[in-house]
Structure 1
Amino acid sequence: MAQVDKFGPTYPIPLIYQPHERVEQLKELLNDSEQERQRINIMALIRMYESGELGPLTTGHRSWLCDGKIMDKSLIKENGTPKIPEGSVVWAEVGLHLHYKLGIGMQMMQGHL
């Protein structure tokens, strides 16, 4: 006889990364050869977190960087995606959240460009 799972609703658990935590994560990315093209954006993010220009990374936060600079809001389309200049390197710094399903565990939901 097949086991029937009981209904277990999910609910979001906001993640908050303090600047020093995010800086450590970003520094690890600098050692990843697959992230070499993003180096300019990663270095800019580290500088912004260390200087206090960017605060804690929270659920719902979204910043777009293009070639090491925060993109002007006029370049962001209505659907939230940027108009990317040809040949540019773009990074989306997006706040994450966990979904907890009762009795099952947690899954991380995140998005990257």
Structure 2
Amino acid sequence: MTTAQKKLGKLRKRVARFKKLSRLLKKLLAPTVERALLFLDEKLLPSTSNAVERTNRRFRKMQREIYRARTTTSIRQRVALDLLREAHLATRCEVLRLLSRQRLTFLG
């Protein structure tokens, strides 16, 4: 048994003595808390990098901005915009390749 689980066990025993408090802190009795503590105490598991967490936050923020207004009209407009961007993707890539080649010939 890990130290965090031992501490949680002691805390559960203390909280169980007070009925009102135990009703308020029911989440301490959830098995998910114990699993989370087991995961957090494990030294062999690698921690996530800040770059990954930062990317996930950026992605969630983008999703919030996109789906903030969920009216049918706004969702249709957003889908149309996404389809338009996707349709122009090949052309945009070709233009970027052409510009890159031109820049290389100009500099070279």
TM-score category, normalised to shorter length = under 0.3
Could you tell me the TM-score, scaled by structure 2's length?
A: 0.25
Could you tell me the TM-score, scaled by structure 1's length?
0.25
Report the structure number with the largest CA radius of gyration. 2
More contact order relative to length (CA 8 Å, sep ≥ 6): 1
Q: Which structure: greater helix fraction? A: 2
